[in-house]
Structures are given as structure tokens and as C-alpha cells.
Chains A and B, each alone.
Chain A
């Protein structure tokens, strides 16, 4: 599969069509693997979806004691294999993006597999199909990137860990990598005064933090 996903936060309108559509995927019917953050609702209407980034060296697979998480030839990181999953939640806790979920009823890890049964047959994943604005797009690099005025970035730095992903973030910067510590790619752009002013989080932000991003069903 040459196609991959492109996440463009600038375009996100926070509608959560992706979250709803994710539930229609055959491998995890009724469960959504996506969350959409309000960045800081008190200040802005900006929002951002998080889907599985499909790391080239997936942390979830590296920490799995049972080798239950497989990567397809195309680089898609699959859901845990049901017979192997030990129910240990290592992957859920280790993923730097907070993506895998733990299903307490089924004693099973669940995660985005890029709608493998759709995408392996040439269909777009559900989230990228429905996204009204193209904040989540699915296609070939050379088809999507030339159309955009944003830069594809797929290297993320979490402290000492550098993660390269199959999925790209489309960013309005020159940066080659996203540094998640501090202020990420926008580090240095905030003034000291901003940093020293304590800001309280809007209850509507908290709402997402406390439920949509909970890592178990």
C-alpha cells in the first residue's frame, strides 16, 4: 500500500465525523479509535484529531511481551492478535501518542489498523473518507503533498525517543521534526509572559481529556 494518511490540524473543524465513522470499521464495530482535542477552547476554536500514526518502529509492538502486535508489509501496525494478547496493557501505556485502547470486556487491546480490510482493497479508511475538510486525508504522498501549502512531517521527538511514522502531520512551519516536549515545533514562539500566566483549562477541554482520551472502554 503506497497510500498513507495525512493529518492537517489547520483544517480540522472539530466536527468529530472521524470519531463517529471509526465505529463503522469492521474490525472494531461500535468502538472508535480516534479522539479529537480542543487545543484550548478558552482561547481558540482550534481542534485536532489523533489517529494511530503507524510508527516505523512501533513502541506498542516493541513493548508487547507476547509479540501480538504485527506490522503489515505495507507498514500498517495492526490490532493485537486476539489469541496472543495477554491483556497486560503495556502497549496502551507505552504509546507516545496515546492511541491504543484496552477493551475491558473483551480483554483485548484495540487500535486503528488503517481500516485494513478497506485500504488493502483500495478503499479509503472510514475517517479519511468522511472528513469534510481533508484534515484527515488518505492517498499517495505525491498525490496529496503537491496540492497543499503545508509541510509533511513524520518525525516526532519525545524526550530521548525519536519516532518516525508512516502517517504525516501537515504543518505550517519549516521544521523537519515535531518536538513534543516544550512547545513542539512552535518552541520559542511563546513569550515568557505567556508562559508565566497560569491559564485554566476550559471545562470543555477537560471533557475530552477525561473521557474520549481514556485508554480503555
Chain B
């Protein structure tokens, strides 16, 4: 039903095409009639930026020096972000696929088709036959609406969001250890820390502006311990770089804990008064010497000892981590084992003493707070908790028996599509054909659906499989709030109207709900009204927004939640007095190391890990259309250590076939000494035959259900290709980010 039959036609009509100039071309003689202060649409630093608007067109960007997080700084994605707004690839009217071709339709026609299909499927196969897959690049108002739409609008239990591919391992571990899911400290604490321990974060490329705080800390005399299988630009400057085997963080962290205990670098008073379950963790760690850790991780024992001493002896210190440790079948355990170091040394809850995950997507934090997650209700409440259900049903005025039970994670949802349990899908703010693991299985899931409707503002690789594509809005075309990686809620402002017949996303969702006969629950006239209900729904929950309003947020350059009352200033630093478990204490977890689901063997002797480059954002649906960014990195490549390259007799720049148990792809080799000899790396932002996710393993963490993007077994095959990488002048205007015509 949802097959892609005319790929050439789709690419010709909807791109990705490269576009590299503001509306009307590069001109210096513009008359700017409005300067709109807002935030970047990309990562969760949520840099402030000013958009320059000329006659309802966003034509440029001006640094926003007065926003304290970035003080004007931006990365190349941020500088060029405005170029997506009036991009020629923008979807301008609803599309219905007929005989394999997308045809223009009216809103009434498209929405009525969606509603009739949904009703038909739900009448025949039950309410749960429709799945909703949302995302965290939406404003918090929209993420709240998506959760409510699934439960109160469609009555389906199957709703999940793309944060499942992002930082759910951190979220789950934070809830286990601290009873709340938020970074514990504002970034202004970073320069106050003597030592930073940064694990699995290529933050130079993925969070460029965070490096401002890192260097402020360095200027104050601070040191960095970097734990990463690759020598990233951050690791290059690290005082200590522990270049571990992917997926062995648990071993390194326990090895460090062993040293901390042996050398009495722990804070016994803190452990006694503010934590539980130390004894078991202590006894376990005592049996786990740095030598054992070294054998597992491949990091020399001396380095593990040095790292433990550096972190343990410092008076202040912060631990931060990102996807590198979270994208594993033992992702939650990786996070918990680093949290053990934080708790054992008591380095938390004070200036310069802290902990935090570096959440990825723009609204990665806000998007995981208000109920678009499979098991969650607004305010970080649980859908399995009767008191929580009652509260939310009261706010929604929904009979409690109508509120569905918990659903499943997105990778499991896609399995249910193949099994025929989920027969219809509505997706917004994601690109499944790039971002989900095992692309070939994802394709089978989509092709097996009875009906797929996608809301997006560009035709993503995933949207091509849809029966109906509804044109949504870019970030500058709507307003609302997002929550950055520190827990700071900031305000996104509107700069222009959506082009053509495109509509703001919340209007589209409400219109579907209205036509489904659920208007009673969806009477919002503006995002402000959604925010107001969200405030009330979150009241009393962990992520309490009750005391916030848009004006207060803007006046204060953001408010940190929890903010339970109107006169409450917000909470930049958590855990100063108490943790969020019922007894106010944090929990140690005794963690045994388990290897990644798939380890190298004779057939697949290398560890394949995937990640990002600074020029692309997530699935690339926005950034692979911007000329400047594509020119910097036109196609994915595979990083190989020179020793490995020599053994396989492959040359720098040669195209090779990389094969795993699930699929294969051809990539040019970048021979670099900055990666481990047993590991290869491919950036993930591309789709179709350039997708590294053709190879990655969809095995899930048992708790967080995050897929193991960061370690699977693979081999490299020489194909005697003579095609060089796209380089030099060729890459000006060139892109292999697409299937080429002919």
C-alpha cells in the first residue's frame, strides 16, 4: 500500500535539493522591518538568535548577544538554519498518494481521507490499531498535544517519540538513581568545576556551543577527562583520554570506583546521609580491579587509575555524558555506573559539583516531560500510576476508563506493524528511514501498513512511504516553549507565516481530532492556551511548569523547572537538599558489565559505531538541503585506523563495502589514527543506501528500549572501486545525500 514506486518523481518534486541563499538572493540593501529574538531549531543548547525579517520573509540571522547561554555564539547549522524557512523544497499543500504518485489535494479532502481511514481501521481492528510516532524537535506545547491526541483523541495506547532513539537511557537511569529526569546543574556551574568527566560525547561536533563553558573551565585551570572510542576534537584537548572499546563504559566506571574506594577518595558522610544501597555496590566494586576493567575496555589500567585520582581528589567536578554511552543494550547501566561515581564522591548538588546528560534534540528535555512517551503522562507522570492517571483525567475532563494503558517503544511499535497489530501510523517530526535501526526492517514495516499519514514541512525519506503527507510548519512559523539540556525552558517566537497552504502543526492535529468527533478535548485557539493547560496538567508532577508563563520565561531568559508557583523563581540546580525518591535519598545501583549484544567474531571482526558530524542535524531532513552544510560533508564515510586499513589493503579515499548481519553499504574510507584499530565509525545522517542504519543492530536496552546504535559487528570488503570521494571543487553543489537520477 505505502510503497515508494516513483522515487525519481518524488525527488524531483520535493528534493532534497540544495539551496544556499536567503529569499531573493544575497543582498546587502535589505530593509529589515522586524528583528525576532528566538532560539535555534536544532540541538538542545537552544542558542538564542535573532531572525531578520523583511516583509514576512526570514532573510538573515544576527547574533543574540544578550542571551546568557550562548552570548551570540552559533554553530554552522545555527548560522544557516534560517535558509530552510523559504527553501524551494517546502511542502506547500496536502498530498495524497494515488497510483504511486503524490497528487495535490485540498485540506478537506486530505483530512477527511485520514479520518475515514482511521475510523475504518479502529472499527475493524480496535482502537490500538493506530500508532502515533512523534518527536522532540517540536515545541513542548506540541509534544503535550501529541500525547493528548493519542490518548484522548484516538484512544490508542501506541504512542511514542523519537527521544527513544536519543536519551531515554539517561532518562531511565536518572529516574532510578535520583527519582527525577533532568540534568542536575545549570551550565554556569561548568566553569566552577576543577575536573570534567565527559563520557561518550562528541560535544565539539554535536553541541558546539557547550564548548564555551568547557573552555571557560579550562581558562580557570580546570582539567578534562574524556572517555570516548574516538579522539574527537574535544578528546584531543583532554588532559586524559580513555579510548575505550565501544560499550565497555560499565567496566571503566567500576574500575574507577574501585580506585576511589581503595584510595579513600569517597565522601562517606554524603553516602551515609544522602544515599541508599552503598554497601552492595561497594563490595562489588572492591572485587573489580582496574586490571579487570582494563582487560574488558582496552584502556590501560594506569589511565583508569589516573582518571579516578583526578576526579576523586578534586574538590569540585562534574560528570557529563551523551549518546555514546546511552545508545547501547546496556545503556541504562552505563549511565548508572557513572552516577555511582558522582554519588560515591558526593560531587552533586552544589556549585561546580554536578552531573548531567547532554540531551540531544532541541527540545529533547521538554519532549520527554509531558506525555508523548509510551508510558508517560504530563509532568513526567506515569501512566501506570492510578493517582497520576486520575490527576490528568481531571485536567482533561476525560473519563478515566477511556485513558489507555502504557504502549510500547518505537522499535517495538515497528515490530507490531510487521506483525499486523498496528495497521495505521501517524508520524510527525521524525524520519524513520534514516533514524531507526535496521532500515530494511523499517521499510518492511511501512510497506505493510494499511495507512500512513505523515506531517512534515519537507518530504523526508520516511514521508515518501506515506499515503497522505500534510504540510506542517517550520520552527520560525509558530510559537511555544522548549526546554534545553540544562532544564531551562525558553521561548520560541514566530517570525513568518507558513508558506502556501502549509499550516501550523497544532492546527492539523486538532483538526484531525475534531473530525474524529473528539472536539471536546481539543478546543485550543493558540499555543498559549495549550501551554496554559500543560501548566495545570504538570502541576504537582516532577516536571512542574505550573508557575511559568511565557512572559516570565522571556523576562528571565528562561526558567528552570520545577517551578511550582507563580512567585517561584525556578530551580537551576537540583539536589541541593534532597533527591526525588520518597525518602529524599539517591540510590546506588550494583551493575555487572555485559557486552554489547553483538560482539566481533571471525565473520564480522570489527566493531561498527555510528554518530554525527557537525554539519548535519539528526536525520538531515532539514540540513541535507542547505548548500553550505552539504558542501562541508556531502556524504557519509567510514573512519578506519591505518593498521586496519593496511591489514585489509584498503587506501584512504577508496570506496569499500561495509557489511553487517542486517545489511550493507558502500562508503569512502577515511584513514585516521584517531579511532581504535578494532573499531570503525560511520556518521548516520543519510537515508536509503547511504544509511549506516542499514547495518546497525535493533537490539534494545531492556529498561529504556533504546537501540544499540553504538556497537555492532561488521566487516569491510574491498570492491576495487575507482570512484573517489566527493571532494575538492566537485562538492560545490554536489550531493550524494540522495539517490541520483538515472
On A, residues with C-beta under 8 Å from B are: 10-17, 19-21, 23-24, 26-27, 29-30, 41-47, 124, 126, 129-134, 147-149, 200, 202-204, 206-207, 209-211, 214
A130 near B231 (CB under 8 angstroms)?
no
Provided the pairs A24-B79, A200-B652 are in contact, do residues A211 and B728 lie with their beta carbons within 8 angstroms?
yes
Contact of B728 among A23, A29, A129, A207 (CB under 8 A): A207
Is the CB–CB distance between B233 and A45 below 8 Å? yes
Please determine whether A19 and B76 come into contact, CB atoms closer than 8 angstroms.
yes
Docked CA distance A148–B80 (Å)? 30
A203 to B670, Cβ gap below 8 A?
yes
Which of B75, B231, B670 makes the CB contact (< 8 A) with A132?
Answer: B75
Which of these, A41, A129, A134, contacts B65 with CB under 8 Å?
Answer: A129
* Contact, CB under 8 Å: A210 / B729: yes
Asked if B728 and A134 make an inter-chain contact with CB atoms under 8 angstroms apart, the answer reads: no
Q: A13, A21, A47, A210: which contacts B208 (Cβ < 8 A)? A: A13
Q: How far is it, in angstroms, between the C-alpha of A16 and the C-alpha of B731 when the chains are bound? A: 16
Shortest Cβ gap from B217 to chain A (Å): 12
User: How far is B671's CA from A205's CA once the two chains are assembled, in angstroms?
Assistant: 12
Whether A13 lies near B211 (C-beta < 8 A) is yes
Closest to B234 in A: A13
Q: How far is the CA of A62 from the CA of B597 in the complex (A)?
A: 66
Interface membership of chain B positions 44-81, coded 1 if the CB is closer than 8 angstroms to chain A and 0 otherwise: 00000000000000001101010000001111101110
Least CB distance from B649 to A in Å reads 15
> Closest CB of chain A to B658's CB: distance in Å?
17
| Residues A132 and B212 in contact, CB atoms below 8 Å apart | yes
Residues of chain B with a CB closer than 8 A to A21's CB: 74, 79
Return chain A residues, CB-CB under 8 Å to B78: 17, 130
Complex: A173 Cα to B26 Cα, angstroms: 42
- State the main secondary structure of chain A at its contact with B: loop
Please, what's the 1-or-0 string for B636-671, where 1 marks a CB less than 8 Å from any CB in chain A?
Answer: 000000100000000011000000000000001011
Q: For the complex, what is the distance from the CA of A214 to the CA of B631, rounded to whole Å? A: 15
Are A132 and B211 in touch, CB under 8 angstroms?
A: yes
Chain A residues lying within 8 Å of B674, measured Cβ to Cβ, are 43-45
Q: Are B75 and A17 in contact (CB under 8 A)?
A: yes
Complex alpha-carbon distance, A113 and B725, angstroms = 35
Residue on A nearest B626 in the bound complex, by CB: A20
| A132 partner residues in chain B, CB cutoff 8 A | 73-75, 208-212
Cross-chain contact A46 with B28 (CB below 8 angstroms)? no
- Contact in complex: B728, A42 (CB < 8 Å): no
Do the beta carbons of B728 and A206 come within 8 Å of each other?
yes
Given contacts A45-B233, A132-B212, A207-B728, contact A202 B61 (CB under 8 A): no
Q: How large is the interface on B (under 10, 10 to 19, 20 to 34, 35 or more residues)?
A: 35 or more
Given the interface pairs A47-B233, A131-B73, A211-B731, the reply to whether A20 lies near B79 with Cβ below 8 Å is: yes
B79 pairs with A17, CB closer than 8 A: yes
User: Quick one: closest B residue to A30, CB to CB?
Assistant: B26
A134 to B79, CA, bound (A): 16
With A30-B21, A206-B728 as contacts: A129 and B72 at CB distance below 8 Å: yes
Give B433 Cβ to nearest chain A Cβ, in Å: 27
A23 pairs with B653, CB closer than 8 A: no
Chain A residues in 8 Å Cβ range of B672: 41-43, 202
- Give the residue of A30, A43, A126 whose beta carbon is less than 8 angstroms from that of B673: A43
Choose one: A46, A129, A148; the contact of B236 (CB below 8 Å). A46
Question: Which of B74, B205, B653, B729 is within 8 Å of A13, CB to CB?
Answer: B205
Tell me which of A13, A23, A47, A130 contacts B26 (CB under 8 A). A23
Report chain A residues within 8 Å CB of B215: 11, 133-134
Ranked 3 nearest A-B pairs via Cβ: A30-B26, A210-B728, A13-B204
B732 at interface, CB cutoff 8 A:
yes
For residue A110, give the distance in angstroms from its CB to the closest CB of chain B.
13
Q: Which residues of the other chain, A, contact B673 by a CB distance below 8 angstroms? A: 42-44
Query: Which residues of chain A are within 8 angstroms of B72 by Cβ–Cβ distance?
Result: 124, 129-130
Q: List 27 A-B contacts (CB under 8 A).
A: A13-B205, A13-B234, A15-B76, A15-B205, A15-B208, A17-B73, A17-B74, A17-B78, A21-B79, A24-B61, A30-B21, A41-B670, A46-B233, A124-B63, A124-B72, A129-B72, A130-B73, A132-B208, A132-B209, A132-B211, A133-B208, A133-B215, A147-B219, A202-B672, A207-B727, A207-B731, A211-B731
Alpha-carbon separation in the docked complex, A127 to B642 (Å)? 35
Please indicate the chain A residues that have their CB under 8 angstroms from the CB of B668 in the complex: 203
- Complex alpha-carbon distance, A61 and B65, angstroms: 34
Our pick among A10, A134, A203, A209 for the contact of B652 (Cβ within 8 Å) is A203
Shortest distance from the beta carbon of B239 to any chain A beta carbon, whole Å: 13
- Find chain B residues with CB under 8 A from A16 CB: 76, 614-615, 632
- Chain B binding surface, main DSSP class: mixed
16 additional A-B pairs beyond A13-B208, A14-B204, A44-B231, beta carbons within 8 Å, are A13-B205, A13-B614, A15-B208, A17-B73, A20-B79, A23-B26, A24-B79, A42-B671, A44-B674, A45-B204, A47-B233, A124-B63, A124-B72, A132-B209, A134-B215, A207-B728
Shortest Cβ distance from A27 into B: residue = B28
List chain B residues, Cβ under 8 A from A23.
26, 628
Given contact pairs A203-B670, A211-B732, A130 touches B79 in the complex (Cβ within 8 A): yes
Question: Which residues between 1 and 41 of chain B lie within 8 Å of chain A, taking CB atoms?
Answer: 21, 25-28
Residues of the B chain whose Cβ atoms lie less than 8 Å from the Cβ of A207 = 727-728, 731
B395 at the interface (CB under 8 A from A): no
Asked if B523 lies at the interface with its beta carbon under 8 angstroms from chain A, I say no
Residues of A within 8 A of B63 (CB): 124, 126, 129-130
List the B side residues contacting A203 at CB < 8 Å. 652-653, 668, 670, 724-725, 727
Q: Is B385 an interface residue (CB 8 A)?
A: no
Tell me which of B73, B205, B235, B653 contacts A129 (CB under 8 A): B73
Contact check: which of B26, B79, B211, B632 meets A133 at CB < 8 Å?
B211
Partner of A17, one of B60, B65, B76: B76
Min C-beta distance of A109 to chain B, whole Å? 17
CA distance A16 to B233 in the complex (A): 13
Does any Cβ of A come within 8 Å of B262's Cβ? no
Say yes or no: A149 contacts B729, CB within 8 Å.
Answer: no
With contacts A211-B728, A214-B729 taken as known, whether A42 is within 8 angstroms of B208 at the C-beta atoms is: no
Q: How distant is B276 from chain A, measured CB to nearest CB, in Å?
A: 40
Contact A204 B233 (CB under 8 A): no
Tell me how far the C-beta of A18 lies from the nearest C-beta in chain B, rounded to whole angstroms: 9
Instruction: Report B677 CB to chain A, min CB distance, Å.
Output: 14
- A45 and B232 within 8 A (CB): yes
Interface string of B219-239 (1 = CB under 8 A from A): 100000000000111111100
B105 to chain A, nearest CB (A): 37
Q: Provide the residues of chain B in CB contact with A29, threshold 8 Å.
A: 26-28
Contact A133 B236 (CB under 8 A): no
B632: min CB distance to chain A, Å:
6
A19 to B631, CA, bound (A): 12
Q: Which residues of A contact B73 (CB under 8 A)?
A: 17, 129-132
* Residue ID in chain A nearest B80 by CB atoms: A20
Query: What is the CA–CA distance of A45 and B231 in the complex, to the nearest angstrom?
Result: 7
Contact of A15 among B204, B235, B729 (CB under 8 A): B204
> Which residues does chain B contribute within 8 Å of A12, judged by CB atoms?
233
- Please determine whether A204 and B729 come into contact, CB atoms closer than 8 angstroms: no
Contact indicator per residue, chain B 184-222, by CB within 8 Å of chain A (1) or not (0): 000000000000000000001100111110110011000
List residues of chain A with CB within 8 A of the CB of B728.
206-207, 209-211
Residues from chain A with Cβ under 8 Å of B670 in the complex: 41, 202-204
Give chain B residues whose Cβ lies under 8 Å from the Cβ of A10: 237
A14–B219 CB distance below 8 A: no
Give the complex CA separation of A13 and B203 in angstroms: 10
Which residues does chain B contribute within 8 Å of A210, judged by CB atoms?
A: 727-729
Name the residue of chain B whose CB is nearest to the CB of A134: B215
CA distance A206 to B208 in the complex (A): 24
Query: Which residues from A are CB-within-8-Å of B218?
Result: 149
Q: How far is the CA of A30 from the CA of B60 in the complex (A)?
A: 11
Q: For residue B673, give the distance in angstroms from its CB to the closest CB of chain A.
A: 5
Most buried by B among A15, A41, A124, A202: A15
Q: Which residue of A lies closest to B237 (CB)?
A: A10
Given contacts A20-B80, A24-B79, A129-B65, contact A149 B219 (CB under 8 A): yes
